Structure 1
């Protein structure tokens, strides 16, 4: 069987899949890597750790599908991480990844000086997590390191380079950096200059589904991939998960609950890039479309955080047992609310320094109440994203959910009840790696992404909203909004700093 490989560099692990040209999933492997937080607000990872994990996962997948004819490789990766290389191709320290918020002051300075330009040409409301802000921080705080750099690569593009010796990115990854013109698909040199670096550091921008290079003999020896296999740059994880969810036609909303929560809706490119405060606009892997993105900074992370909090050596409560504690808790979590801003607020507030909270705690609050409240809080933040989309004219006829949090049946049902729409849990949950493999298939077969993704929802489990829960969730949502807006106002008030 002919197959393509999809590689997704996530926040905590790489996921690699092999997908037959008939759409069948042949193999999937995940390998973790560590995250480093050397100072408050700093979040870094080693690109060497990424590459080691990629090589291990690829060799295992290759062994599993030894009889398959591998005809292409596609890439996906976390947005807004930056890797610096010197003129010999050596790493200049660890990568600064998307969770890092050290560049808040630099982002504010760029917005004050170039906010209109960024909104009109880059379709962005710049903040501290963007690559542009990170490079501006390096120019001010580590100019020696930036001065030695000859390449600044995005996360997945570092793997592209290791596989092919080609330095290139794609429009979706580039559009999230805050410095790509979304109409010409070129870097905005004026913004690079304002941030204090040479735009020649940045890689060329090529199509997501066009072959960028071929697996080198050296990479073949390390990964087990056949030498000469074509590799496409693929897309940043948002555009890749949109492909993997089948968000390639109007009306299909994709919701993923990985470390972060993503809410994506495809729009005509010209319509999508009009100024829409409160959300991101990201280029789609399909060049005729773009994506509206709502971001929940702590999506699946919120529930895994709660599990870390409540388990102990003396009481090794499993994740599944914790989730089961919520099964008897009524909608509204007995008056408990959770604000899911553990890593800051994104949509609709764009407030990286906001923080999470429980409100309504009492001596009778149980683990079940807290678990239910966490799932509700994330679902309410997703609802805020959906309400923003519909306010701006988006039409939603179908909701599809994927990634790790979607494995929790109760969470899927809560989302259906909160959104008051049927939710389909996709059969293949790792949508970014799947999307990467499908982009490679478009490159090698010429079949459009819309055709390849048309049947992705078939075989998924459907969760219908329960009308009996509507009133309880409406009341809980209003309580949530009071808490969320109270936290945002607290951060905005300079007397609290």
Structure 2
């Protein structure tokens, strides 16, 4: 029987899974969405049991394809900075607080003020602030606003760790997923943990990302070895091609995530630099609203993503400028109070121009991150390796190539999180000696977008305006919010 590997990606909006054979071919795939609710301003929540239910459905769906293969190992990746407060028996005590949720921004500000930029560099490798999605900010918010939940909380888990506990029967996490909680040595940082009394007692134990931690207990893949895995950003970047130094990767999902591997580090503000793992040291930056901006536009305009792409194709070049900070911004700005805007709107514009503006604005936010990454990692490249749902659209891929002024090469199995997970599973199963070797065997690329020189020059000028507009919008937004709350 031929070998295969199982990859699962528990994303922001859906569960995706695939069986991939030892030649990098997808034998079967699964994708199904679950519900996200916004019960109050700045609150974004999900039901953790929806994740578990869909993973079980995914495994049943893939079972027939796996019958003719020996499934050597499995790995799971997930969204991070989404937190589940669970009791002693492992059941959720509260809906999962999703990474887009900014309810804890006041607590984040208090915690962040207690660490200087120099201390952040020394403790967790860079000056990135503690923001509203940080686990300590969430813990402090629950402790203050829902003390009855805090008292019952035995663990605060990431989606991956919650799902793994259901699959293999015990709780572990990994150092890379524990963002700004773990030092270069792979242990929780006492000076950070002490910022919230009781936090250290509620964290999960650590396990290496490619270690086999047990076997799937039930279902059609019962007995298949399961590895620890890691966060979707890191795993997706690995799947995209960041296993090789100076290979920049662009993931287009609910948020845009860009990253590259380099041992250089200039400590550029706003960039996350992961500790070296499996021989790879990744500089990364996630935005707040990539595909989320597309979903927002489609909801308002009552169109599908395919319809939106058709609208953008029909647009004139006289588009408004879209600022995609609809729920604040992460890299490279890390400002939860920023909000989006359309600028330069006139009577001659209609839905096609607005659709294209959203695509352009998201691409500008990605370029903003890439510029910081190139400084942080002290490297530049003319080619980005890409993947994710945002790269299904040909027009959006071309707009991104033009805005960045870079060639884009897309994964053939266009699910970077699954490809990265399969690489970890294959490495754990002894299929190769390094992640780079395994990736070279399992990953293929199909589509290439070349930047148009004329369009790229135009976008160079517009990008400078985009950055100026964010600064102006920040000041106006602060005044607007103050007036509304007054």
Same fold (TM over 0.5): yes
Q: Assess if the C-alpha contact under 8 Å between 2:80 and 2:158 holds in 1.
A: yes
TM-score (norm 1): 0.91
In the alignment, which residue of structure 1 is the partner of 2:152?
Answer: 148
Separation of aligned partners in 1, 2:159 and 2:361 = 30
* Deviation by residue 1:13-36 (Cα, 9 ceiling, x = unmatched): 111111112322111101221112
Alignment of 1:304-323 (within 5 A): 304-311=295-302, 317-323=303-309
Q: Which stretches of structure 1, 4 residues or longer, exceed 6 Å deviation after superposition? A: none
- 1:369, distance to aligned residue in structure 2 (A): 0.8
1:229 aligns with 2:224: yes
Q: Give me the CA root mean square deviation.
A: 2.0
1:258 aligns with 2:253: yes
Which sections of structure 1, spanning at least 5 residues, go unmatched?
Answer: 312-316
Q: Assess if the C-alpha contact under 8 Å between 2:243 and 2:435 holds in 1.
A: yes
Q: Assess if the C-alpha contact under 8 Å between 1:31 and 1:54 holds in 2.
A: no
* Deviation by residue 1:368-414 (Cα, 9 ceiling, x = unmatched): 11111111111111111121122331232420121111011111111
Separation of aligned partners in 2, 1:180 and 1:439 = 21
SS at match of 1:374: helix
Separation of aligned partners in 1, 2:158 and 2:294 = 28
- 1:94, distance to aligned residue in structure 2 (A): 1.5
Between the two proteins, the alignment pairs up a number of residues equal to 477
Q: Assess if the C-alpha contact under 8 Å between 1:31 and 1:56 holds in 2.
A: no
Moved more, 482-491 or 201-210: 482-491
Alignment of 1:394-433 (within 5 A): 394-433=379-418
Separation of aligned partners in 2, 1:419 and 1:361 = 24
In the alignment, which residue of structure 2 is the partner of 1:165?
Answer: 169
Cα distance change on mapping 1:128 and 1:115 into 2, 3 Å: farther
Q: Assess if the C-alpha contact under 8 Å between 1:250 and 1:395 holds in 2.
A: no
In the alignment, which residue of structure 1 is the partner of 2:284?
Answer: 293
Q: Assess if the C-alpha contact under 8 Å between 1:125 and 1:280 holds in 2.
A: no
Separation of aligned partners in 2, 1:304 and 1:150 = 35
SS at match of 1:301: helix
Q: Assess if the C-alpha contact under 8 Å between 1:246 and 1:456 holds in 2.
A: no
Q: Assess if the C-alpha contact under 8 Å between 1:239 and 1:283 holds in 2.
A: no
- 1:283, distance to aligned residue in structure 2 (A): 4.0
- 1:191, distance to aligned residue in structure 2 (A): 2.4
SS at match of 1:98: coil
In the alignment, which residue of structure 2 is the partner of 1:238?
Answer: 233
Q: Assess if the C-alpha contact under 8 Å between 2:23 and 2:441 holds in 1.
A: no
- 1:446, distance to aligned residue in structure 2 (A): 4.9
- 1:310, distance to aligned residue in structure 2 (A): 1.3
- 1:63, distance to aligned residue in structure 2 (A): 2.5
In the alignment, which residue of structure 1 is the partner of 2:375?
Answer: 391
TM-score (norm 2): 0.93
Separation of aligned partners in 1, 2:144 and 2:111 = 13
Separation of aligned partners in 2, 1:84 and 1:202 = 10
